[in-house]
Amino acid sequence: MTDEQQGRDGKRISIAKVYMKDFSFESPQSPAIFRSGEWKPQTNLNLRSSHNEVENDVHEVVLTITVEAKEEDKTLFLIELHQAGLFDISGYEKEEFKAIIGSFCPNILFPYAREAIAATIQKGGFPEFVLQPINFDALYLQSLQQQAAAQAEGEETH
């Protein structure tokens, strides 16, 4: 979409800033874990996104990703990252806006988060960690379906 087209229909999305809002890495079993030989951890991934309006059409979207690697009941490493961005968004209907905040913006932030997480795990002394691609469109649709189901269930109980 050209700037001219953006001006005609009044819709605009631009990335004002991408930044790391909060980041933590813990490796509670080091250095013992590096001396124990082969390790085969279970990895748990949790992600969520949040949004708040900063001013007028400027919105902050925060993608929070938590990765925990455990072996039996011991945590090998734990990462929590809040990857954020400021987005200038205007001219969209309410449902379009929700989709932009719930899917488009997290899609923009994810590659930054993915790189930071992979680099930190490797710098922490662990083997390469590849965070698989995430289909934020599907996650957004799933959240809409869950909200509709919860709303329908709430209406049935009244």
Q: What is the CATH number of the domain that holds 13?
A: 3.10.420.10
Q: Which two tokens stand for residue 135?
A: 């289909």
Q: What is the mean pLDDT of residues 75-96?
A: 96
pLDDT in tens, 110-128: 999 999 999 999 999 999 9
Q: How confident is the model at residue 21 (pLDDT cuts 50, 70, 90)?
A: very high
DSSP code for 36: S
- Domain containing residue 110: 3-133
Domain assignment present for 60: yes
How many domains in the chain? 1
pTM: 0.85
Domain assignment present for 156: no
Q: Which two tokens stand for residue 35?
A: 């001396």
Domain assignment present for 157: no
Domain assignment present for 158: no
pLDDT of residue 6: 54
